Structure 1
Amino acid sequence: MSLGRMFDDLEGRFAHLEGLDMRAMSDELARAERSQVQLADRFRAAQSRPVGIHLDGGIRVDGIVDEVGEGWVLLRAAVEGGRSLVPMPRIAMVEGLTARARPAEESRASLPRGIGHVLRRLARDRSLVRIRTDGGSCHGRIRAVGADALDVLTSPTGEASRVPGRQEIVVPFAALLLLQEV
């Protein structure tokens, strides 16, 4: 083998190893970046897309991603119906999310909005809601929203009127499994 061919062969091997090293570094950087992506970021990227969310207790909710906040996602029904508020910690699995992600903007208009924000909006709209928790479910209207719990005026029919059986209950945010407009 000539000396020139030997140097060409060594240069080729070096270039190949250098390419493998660059690819490994690139893959590692991609994995590190992906490790920073939160579920809320993926829901934001799926805004206006249909998803299926499986919750604790075997409950499944389908809808189109409408809003995403700090610790919650709001779906609107694909057909007629209301919206469904799902606390992120109660999500067991999600169908329909892509690998894309969109982080929350850091503008003043998109300050972190906790679950109380959307609950207060539903209370202001006087929406009739069905609430599910691990301990049971109820129908009614949100009467008030505190820092970590909501008050619901319930009745057997879900209408908050002067009907026997109406009562006010308190639901801690941590117990909330699903809240749906009806």
Structure 2
Amino acid sequence: MGTDEHLLDLFDELEGRAETLYDADRAPEIADRSRAEYRAVTLASRLMASLGDPVVVRVVGVGPVAGTLERVGDGWFLLRGAAQDWAVPLVAVQSVTGSSARSVPEVAWPRVAALGLAAFLRRLAEEGHPCVLHLRDGGRHEGTLLRVGADFVELQEGADAARRCLVALVALAAAQVRRDDASGQPR
């Protein structure tokens, strides 16, 4: 082995050692950055990455609800169950099982995701679908949504038009809408 080859081998070995030391030096910094970035990940962004996936969500006042994640909006999501849809505000979620390990940052969400739960409930009211409003304290009201205000929904309970109930949106754990099995549409 000549002197040139010996020097090249020495430089390669020194370069390898320097690279190893650099990587070891940067490992804590990379770990810190990773933790700092993960702090910005929200439950909604994890759910957005889980669209189309089957999940089980434990909802305050309701318990576990299983279904396929259909939509994520501003502060809420829509879960399609076996015979009903569940619109759930994020504040009523206790846990989610079966979600993706990834997340989708809000800047990458479709424009329709900017709509809040009130927009979905207004559509239900316009179409006259009966529903069950589950409250965070375990109570429930069954009937037809009539109107949606700024911070409440108005529900007609039963056939009596005089029986109207106002439900504060902050008290809502989930809105359950049964689907017609044939059409897949809410009934």
Alignment-mate amino acid for residue 119 of structure 2: H
Structure 1 residue 69 and structure 2 residue 65: aligned? Answer: no
Following the alignment from structure 1 to structure 2, what is the Cα–Cα distance between the partners of residues 47 and 107? 11
Following the alignment from structure 2 to structure 1, what is the Cα–Cα distance between the partners of residues 38 and 61? 29
CA deviations 1:65-84 (Å, max 9, x no partner) are: 1111111011111x3x1210
CA RMSD of aligned residues (A): 2.6
Following the alignment from structure 2 to structure 1, what is the Cα–Cα distance between the partners of residues 109 and 42? 19
Partner of 2:87, secondary structure, is: strand
Provide the residue aligned with 1:88 in structure 2: 90
Unaligned runs of 5+ in 1: 156-160
Alignment-mate amino acid for residue 150 of structure 2: A
Deviation at 1:127, TM superposition (A): 1.1
- Of 26, 29, 36, 1:25 maps to 29
Unaligned runs of 5+ in 2: 1-6, 179-187
Quickly say closer, same or farther: Cα 1:111–1:92, change in 2 above 3 A: closer
Moved more, 10-19 or 67-76: 10-19
TM value normalised by structure 1: 0.82
Give the percent of matched residue pairs that are identical in Structure 1 and Structure 2. 31
TM value normalised by structure 2: 0.80
Alignment-mate amino acid for residue 140 of structure 1: G
Structure 1 residue 149 and structure 2 residue 120: aligned? Answer: no
Provide the residue aligned with 1:158 in structure 2: none
Aligned length: 170
Following the alignment from structure 2 to structure 1, what is the Cα–Cα distance between the partners of residues 91 and 174? 11
Following the alignment from structure 2 to structure 1, what is the Cα–Cα distance between the partners of residues 65 and 30? 38
CA deviations 1:52-94 (Å, max 9, x no partner) are: 00022361111111111111011111x3x12101110111111
Structure 1 residue 178 and structure 2 residue 180: aligned? Answer: no
